Amino acid sequence: MRSEGPLLRVYRTLLNRFGHRGWWPGETRFEVMVGAILTQNTNWKNVEKAIAGLKQKGLLTPESLASADLRTIESAIRSSGYYRQKAKRLKLFAKWLVEKYDGRLDLLFAAPLSELRQELLSLNGIGPETADSILLYAGDKPVFVIDAYTRRVFGRMGFISENASYCELQRFFESSLPSDVELFKDFHAQIVELGKTYCKKKPLCADCPLRRGCKSGGALPKSDS
C-alpha cells in the first residue's frame, strides 16, 4: 500500500462523503468560461439564471457575445449581481477571444500555459481565481484553483495561513499533490461543496467530515505546524 500525503487524505475523505462532483457545470467550454466570470463573489444559483438568460438570447458563443449590445447582456445577466461590470467584462473577454483567436478555443488553449495565464490576467475583470478556473475547467490545464472556501477550510484546519497570498497557496497545493487535472478539478469541487455545506463564515461543524483535525471542529487538538 502506498502512503498518501495529508492533502490527498483530505481529498479521499471528501470524496467518500460527497462522491465525484462532476464539475464544472456547463454544456460547452465557452459556457464554463462565461460562468467563471459570472460567479465572481456570487451564489451559483444566481449564475445559473444568468447563463440561462444568455442562452435564451443566443449569446453563448464568442462571436454573438462580442457583438452584442451591452444593455442586452446586462439584462440577461442581471440576476448574477454586479451585472454592469460583468457585462463589460464578458463582452471584452469575448472580443479578445474573437480578435486574437478567431473565437476558437482550440487555438486559445494550444498556447503555452504560463503565457496563456498571463494573457488572461491582463484582461480587465479576470483575476487569478477566474483565470485558473478557466484554465482548469475549460482548458484542462493542471492549475489548482484557490478560492475563499479553500482559504477558509485549510486555514481553519491549520494547513495554511488564511492570509497567505494566492500565489503561496497555489504553490502549496500544486507542490503537495500529483499534477493531475482530474484530481485538481474534483478536489476544488469537493472543497466548494464542503464550504457551502459546512464551512461558511459561521461554520456548521457538527456533521463536517473534516471536523476531526480542524481547529473549528475541535475534536482533535490542533497540530502545531
Binding site for DNA (CB under 7 A): 23-25, 35-36, 39-46, 49, 78-86, 123-131, 133, 137, 147-149, 163, 192, 195-196, 200-202
Question: Which CB sits closer to DNA, 152 or 209?
Answer: 152
Question: Which CB sits closer to DNA, 113 or 220?
Answer: 113
Instruction: Locate all alpha helices (DSSP H) within 123-180, ordered by sequence.
Output: 128-133, 148-156, 166-176
**Residue 84 CB, nearest distance to DNA (Å)?**
3
Question: Which CB sits closer to DNA, 40 or 156?
Answer: 40
**Residue 148 CB, nearest distance to DNA (Å)?**
4
Question: Which CB sits closer to DNA, 110 or 121?
Answer: 121
Instruction: Please answer whether residues 143 and 180 qualify as being in contact, where contact means their C-beta atoms are separated by less than 8 angstroms.
Output: no
**Residue 138 CB, nearest distance to DNA (Å)?**
10
**Residue 77 CB, nearest distance to DNA (Å)?**
9
Q: Omega into 96 within 30° of 0, i.e. cis?
A: no
Cα dist from 12 to 20, 187, 191, 206, 218, whole Å: 11, 9, 12, 20, 21
**Residue 22 CB, nearest distance to DNA (Å)?**
10
Cα 197 to Cα 224: distance, rounded to the nearest angstrom:
27
CA neighbor of 138 nearest in space, from 38, 30, 59, 62: 30
SS3 for 223?
Answer: coil
Cα 74 to Cα 177: distance, rounded to the nearest angstrom:
40
**Residue 124 CB, nearest distance to DNA (Å)?**
5
DSSP state of 225: -
Question: Which CB sits closer to DNA, 27 or 102?
Answer: 27
Question: Which CB sits closer to DNA, 43 or 67?
Answer: 43
Using CA atoms of 215, 219, 220, 224 in order, give the dihedral in degrees to the nearest 10.
10
